[in-house]
Amino acid sequence: MTDPVNDEVLIFVEGRTGRIRLNRPKAIHALTHPICTAMIRALTAWASDDGVDLVMIDHAEGRGFCAGGDIRHIADSAKGDGSEGRAFFHEEYRLNHLLFTYAKPTIAFMDGITMGGGVGISQPCSIRVVTERTMYAMPETGIGLFTDVGGGRYLSRMPGRMGQYVGLTGARLNGAECLALALGTHYVESDGIEALKAAILGNPGAIDAALRSAVSAVPPAPILDRQADIDRLFASDRYEDIVAALAADGGDWALATLKTLETKSPQACKVVLRLLAESARIDDFAEEMAMEYAVVVRVIQRPDIIEGVRALIVDKDNAPRWNPPTAAGVSDADIDAIFAPLPPSEAWTPLPNA
């Protein structure tokens, strides 16, 4: 049975497994406020349901698991008073936190495109299956946003400076790279996914055995060959230092990476670096989400999100005019203001008892 108010996410119990299947194939299953609300409702009910042993999150059809949030709607909200955007992020972050603290096993199938909001609902899961079709990215700096939905925690805990590289550049990672960076827990060839799901649904209590039987040989992870370069060139938490290091290096990879960064919002890049530095010191995921919510509220009040969505999604001219246009124009005081805590009456809070 689907959720009666939202057929864009299919929610039902199969055997002893609670199933959440994203069902917006034309939008690569991008999350909306109603989808987040429906997922929260189901997860909350299943948490105390003795008939549900496991929660499985996947997508019904199409070429990706989840491409993110409905960013065009958020940008439209930002043109007005931003209230709908704030409400969406508040709900989405509650969903992220609920999954992170969920008492029952959860499994996400990161088959195909897994970006932004898709990262937010897959990374908290206890089991994260990746395939040769997985394309993971946190591309938010390209539209004037930042690595939210818990991205501060996940990226800041990657080895070396890998998180800074992934967060700033929006680098796309394949399944083997996700496994190497602990973004995925099991690598399964895509043609074995349906059989794995069937085995789990048939006996959720034997999920470990099903996974052992399904895992495939893992190909090399190319990004690991760049670890030394990334650690050296992205060593600083000051964005200008990273840009200077890439320019001074002068090698093909460094210059290509610099060219990529030149397309990103300077403000967003500085926000990402501050976020990862702060997140590395935060253990409580609720505290992480409260910080990220304060940041996103401030960011969507600024012009880059509207301009980024215009350039990449609406007009598709890929020529955003960032404001400020350069890193030098984004002061430490600007970043401090973005990271200032919200008044208690406006701050993010987790679900009761979550």
- Sign of the alpha-carbon dihedral angle for 213, 214, 219, 222: negative
Residue 351 maps to a domain = no
Domain residues for the domain of 331 are 9-339
206 φ, ψ to 5°? -110, 30
Q: Angle formed by the axes of helices 239-249 and 266-279, to 10°?
A: 110
Residue 1 maps to a domain = no
- CA 55-57-61 angle, to 5 degrees, is 145
- The answer to whether the peptide bond before residue 324 is cis (omega within 30 degrees of 0) is yes
Tell me if residue 69 is catalytic.
yes
User: Is the distance from CB of 183 to CB of 128 less than 8 angstroms?
Assistant: yes
User: Is the distance from CB of 114 to CB of 122 less than 8 angstroms?
Assistant: yes
Per-residue pLDDT of the chain (354 residues; tens, 9 = 90+): 444 446 999 999 999 999 999 999 999 999 999 999 999 999 999 999 999 999 999 999 888 999 999 888 999 998 999 999 999 999 999 999 999 999 999 999 999 999 999 999 999 999 999 999 999 999 999 999 999 999 999 999 999 999 999 999 999 999 999 999 999 999 999 999 999 999 999 999 999 999 999 999 999 999 999 999 999 999 999 999 999 999 999 999 999 999 999 999 999 999 999 999 999 999 999 999 999 999 999 999 999 999 999 999 999 999 999 999 999 999 999 999 999 999 999 999 999 987
Q: How far apart are the first and last CA of the chain?
A: 26
Residue 98 maps to a domain = yes
Residue 345 maps to a domain = no
Residue 85 maps to a domain = yes
Tell me if residue 140 is catalytic.
yes
In this structure, the dihedral spanned by the alpha carbons of residues 294, 299, 305 and 308, taken in order and rounded to 10 degrees, is: -110
Distance CA 143, CA 29 (A): 19
Distance CA 215, CA 148 (A): 30
User: Is the distance from CB of 82 to CB of 31 less than 8 angstroms?
Assistant: no
Q: What stretches of 84-134 adopt beta strand conformation (E)?
A: 106-110, 113-115, 127-130
pLDDT at 6: 64
Q: Nearest to residue 71, comparing CAs of 80, 60, 84?
A: 84
Distance CA 79, CA 114 (A): 27
Residue 55 maps to a domain = yes
Number of domains the chain contains:
1
pLDDT at 5: 47
**Residue of 69, 112, 116, 308 with catalytic role:** 69
Distance CA 24, CA 65 (A): 10
User: Is the distance from CB of 140 to CB of 71 less than 8 angstroms?
Assistant: no
Residue whose pair of structure tokens reads 């090698």 in the numeric block: 251
Tell me if residue 148 is catalytic.
yes
Q: Nearest to residue 259, comparing CAs of 274, 272, 246, 273?
A: 246
69 Cβ contact partners less than 8 Å away, ≥ 6 residues apart:
30, 31, 32, 88, 92, 116, 117
**Residue of 117, 144, 163, 175 with catalytic role:** 117
Residue 352 maps to a domain = no
- What is the domain-level CATH number for residue 98? 3.90.226.10
Residue 346 maps to a domain = no
pLDDT at 63: 83
pLDDT at 3: 44
Distances (CA, A) of 198 to 52, 195, 241, 323, 325: 16, 5, 50, 50, 51
pLDDT at 4: 42
pLDDT at 62: 82
Altogether, the residues listed in the chain come to a count of 354
**Residue of 8, 58, 70, 148 with catalytic role:** 148
Tell me if residue 192 is catalytic.
no
**Residue of 140, 177, 292, 304 with catalytic role:** 140
Q: Nearest to residue 164, comparing CAs of 182, 126, 130, 138?
A: 138
